[in-house]
Amino acid sequence: MYILGIETSCDETAVAILRISPLGRVKVLSNVVSSQIEIHQKYGGVVPEIAAREHVLHIIPVVHESLLKAGLKPSQIRAIAVTVGPGLVTSLLSGVETAKALAYAWKKPLVPVNHIEGHIYANFIDLKKPVKFPAIVLTVSGGHTNLVLLKGHLKYQIVGETRDDAAGEAFDKGAKMMDIGYPGGPIVSQYAASAQASEIKLPRPMINSVGFDFSFSGLKTALLYTLKKDSNWKKQIPEYCFELQEAIVETLVSKTIKAAKKYQVKTVLLSGGVSANKRLREALQKAVLDKLPGVAFGMPNLAYTTDNAAMIAMAGYYRFHAKKTVVWNKIKMDCNLELR
């Protein structure tokens, strides 16, 4: 079957088409993303009103380009999957209204998809081996940091989440404090790669706490006061970036391994925009290999880590087969949608 996915939860206008065989083999026929990063860089973060206007301008051309790249006609599409939340309400509106219009015009069923669910299912696009359940999934992005127990397809239990700021937010705000640019994650990672070590010390928030929740607001505060006390910090930006990244990665990895042990999982998965971070990918993979004998590890191809529509189409495929579809005028958008 052919399934079309639409993702507009924040500042990426994305449309993708997947071909999935009766045996479950996946081929990404198109995965078009119109990025707004350059537009929002001057503001140091996403401006919702600007993001919404850009979505309106680009959504139809991106749909058209995705169909052209896939070499398909609308009549060949079996279903349309679309992100309905969580996200920026005005951004979500662009994608959902477009999906409704296409579903009505093309007479196709709609599949509502949770954005976090999409990130989780990015792991299923390029599968080499079937995922064994139960699995623990570390989902890390600019707006979310969750540990999800995946008991089976579409069966979620959140066992840990951030109590305040997400890990991606800590990267962004840390980069802003050091005035090195936006988005913070890739820039901090680049600077950190040029430092072999650091004498600077930042806390590992809640790393030894009971349970699996996260908190990164205190880490941002610690970085701010450390910078204020250091008159020469501008000469040590690589070292500060190194320590900031290490503090985030060590906390994420430690909590994930503890959760994997408690729930006796068979697989550990990584997902979300921050899963593109090379240090996190390497550290979590090594920790699973060293501390969880017999447990498999998986992470998405880099192309499917940041917001994209291929992951929405992938999640939509499983929801479609679970008969979780709606007609065009029954779909509901929720900017605070919970994973369930």
pLDDT digits (tens, 9 = 90+) for 50-91: 999 999 999 999 999 999 999 999 999 999 999 999 999 999
Element (H, E) at 337: none
Domains of the chain in sequence order: 2-122+304-330 (3.30.420.40), 131-299 (3.30.420.40)
**Please, what is the average pLDDT of the chain?**
96
Token readout for 169 is 């937010």
Give the pLDDT of residue 238: 97
Q: What is the pTM of this model?
A: 0.96
Residue 197 has pLDDT above 90, yes or no: no
Q: Could you tell me which residue, 196 or 195, shows the higher pLDDT?
A: 195
Return the exposure string of 85-117: e unless at least 16 CB atoms fall within 10 Å of the residue's CB, then b: bbbbebbbbbbbbbbbebbeeeebbbbbbbbbb
Strand partners, 31: 16
Token readout for 81 is 């999957």
Give phi and psi for 76, each to the nearest 5.
-85, -15
Q: Are strands 79-85 and 12-20 parallel, antiparallel or unpaired?
A: unpaired
Residues at the binding site are 115, 119, 139-143, 172, 185, 277, 307
Residues at the binding site for Fe cation are 115, 119, 307
Asked if 149 and 136 touch (Cβ cutoff 8 Å), the reply is yes
pLDDT band at 106 (very low <50, low <70, confident <90, very high): very high
Residues at the binding site for substrate are 139-143, 172, 185, 277
What average pLDDT does this structure show over 37-53? 92
Residue 163 has pLDDT above 90, yes or no: yes
Residue 171 has pLDDT above 90, yes or no: yes
